[in-house]
Chain A
Amino acid sequence: MSGPLILAVPSKGRLQADAQALFARAGLEIAPTGGKRSYRGQIEGIAGVEVAYLSAPEIAREIGAGAVHAGITGRDQVEETVPDFAARTELLLPLGFGRCDVVVAVPEPWVDVETMTDLDDVAADFRPRHARRLTVATKYINVTRRFFAGHGIADYRIVESLGATEGAPSSGAADIIVDITTTGATLRANGLKVLSDGVILVSEAHLVASRTMAWDAGQKRALAAIVAKVKAVAR
């Protein structure tokens, strides 16, 4: 059975503009089929490719589930959204935009906390002192759990945050946060500091392929052609 290569690209925001521009530089103009508001598109100059416009987290999920062949999304989205991401996805090519770090940040006045080991001590001591667990606001629930478990930290509770995570400590919604940062300015403005070993992952947008999707020769050729062209102009 041979169908088109399904490539998922961001449907909105900065990521969409950057992806569109990079592909254009590579001579791959992405154009919606059937009008501007369509959620399907094609790439001019390469046959057998169908473009699906999705949000960045959806792209990661669909690649992991094997519903699309490949897509453009952040490494942070892949690691958060796809269970067993190393087996299900492959980061083919870093694209040089959408750079951000996922970090652990605590209130600046916590002068005694500089490392994850300090945080472990504080977390373990927190419940006896305050009759509740230390709370962590984040939208990166899975990334946070893996990282904290790797540092032997179990005494905490995640408070799911759907936006403006950096404001959680000042509003009292949580004690500390795990969030993305680019320059650290927003964190500083909210009185937060990043732990010295608290950078969980350094992320940027990638061309990501699905390992769970069934691939035929034509689809592989189409992807190889895209990778070759984008590689020549990326970064």
Chain B
Amino acid sequence: MSDPYEALRRLLSDAGYAFVEPPVVHPASVFVELAGEDLRRRLYLTSAEDGTELALRPDYTIPVCLQHIEGGPARRRANYAYLGPVFRLRPGESGEATQAGIESLGRTDRVAADADVLKLAFAVTTLFGVKRPRVIIGDSALFAALLDQLDLSPPWQRRLARAFGDTARLKGFISKANGKAKAVASRSELDGASVAQVKAAVADHFAATGLGGVGGRTAAEIAERFVEKAALAQGIPARAAATLSAFLSINGTPVEALAMLRALAKRDKLDLGKALDRFEKRAEAFAGHGIDLDRLAFAADFGRRLDYYTGFVFEFRQSKAASEPIIGGGRYDSMTAHIGTSREAVPAVGFAVWLDRFGVQR
């Protein structure tokens, strides 16, 4: 093979993806807002003459979506491909890496789009001679559906949803289920007070300290959460904790996982509804696209820790022993709602290839 990058370009173009080259430099706020302070510490920052903070792109997904939105109505269907440098501060490594990838926007036949994208990711590994990659798949929509069915107070639901993908943290929360919680003795004289009473006390407090200016947390919001905290201190009910533990330990091929999820739903009387149906349909679509389901390792606790993923996610690794992904991707249906001016959520799925980790040199 003469030029591996050229071969990859041909593969992605032939699959119907049009190559784009969005700008390298963007306002830093775009990346910070979408991916959080955690990514910010990896950003190469500089500033414009007027002091605006600028950053070198740490990935292509956000810049490609920005370009898509600027180019017309967000809802239109478009398939993009890219290949070029991305920049992330990494201790002891070069901060510049070459990434290739695709973004498929606007397809409402989500299950088929997921299958197309996964199949193309397999084709990329084949192109670069990786014969048996380890492919991990996950689905945060299943976890969201589960949380919906459990007897949990809203603040606990939010806490658990946020921790998805960080299994150690989730297990920490679960271990503090009823009875096992170290009594969080709140020493406040406000314990047991109503929202209105707490609100009045907080307002007094704001007045006395001269804090609570415009745009910050309001007395009402603090009072609401103070009263809600009683529910948090209770911990997770023991039954819900048992269901969560069982769910998080589910892993296997999609067929095995589906059977286990069904068994759990039956045992604990859960209705995982549409999320489970979609999981099954997606697995069928994979098989229909000629993907060997035995090659996929589903893990119920697998989530990629980037704010923008919304459901199906996947990672390819060189081998079972490898810890770093060579390809990472998934569905991010809410990204377009957070950027640009239209604020419209558009179906989106894609993946990024870490070419340097394949050992591919041109």
Contacts and interface: CB of A to CB of B under 8 A. Distances in A.
B308 interface: no
B226 interface: yes
Interface residues of B, number: 44
A145 interface: yes
Contacts of B158: 121, 124-125
Contact of B213 (A122, A156, A170): A170
A140 interface: no
A156 B213 CA distance: 18
A108 B222 CA distance: 11
A159 to B, nearest CB: 12
A10 to B, nearest CB: 28
B212 A107 contact: yes
Contact of B217 (A148, A175, A190, A191): A175
Interface in B186-234: 186, 188, 190, 198, 201-202, 205-206, 208-217, 219, 221-223, 225-226, 228-229, 232
B211 A109 contact: yes
A132 B214 CA distance: 13
A109 B211 CA distance: 8
A232 B188 CA distance: 47
Contacts of B211: 107-109, 169-170, 191
A112 B215 CA distance: 18
Interface string B14-48: 00000000000000000011001110110000000
Interface in B33-86: 33, 36-38, 40-41
B209 A108 contact: yes
Contacts of B217: 107, 110, 122, 126, 130, 175
A122 B209 contact: no
DSSP majority for the B interface? helix
Contacts of A110: 217, 222
Contacts of B281: none
B159 interface: yes
Among A107, A145, A175: residue with most chain B CB under 10 A: A107
A145 B222 CA distance: 25
B4 interface: no
Contacts of A170: 209-211, 213
A108 B206 CA distance: 8
Nearest 9 pairs between A and B by C-beta? A191-B209, A154-B36, A109-B205, A112-B226, A172-B213, A112-B225, A154-B38, A107-B211, A191-B211
9 contacts: A84-B92, A111-B222, A124-B158, A125-B158, A130-B215, A152-B163, A158-B37, A172-B214, A191-B208
Interface of B: 32-33, 36-38, 40-41, 91-92, 155, 158-159, 162-163, 166, 169, 186, 188, 190, 198, 201-202, 205-206, 208-217, 219, 221-223, 225-226, 228-229, 232, 307
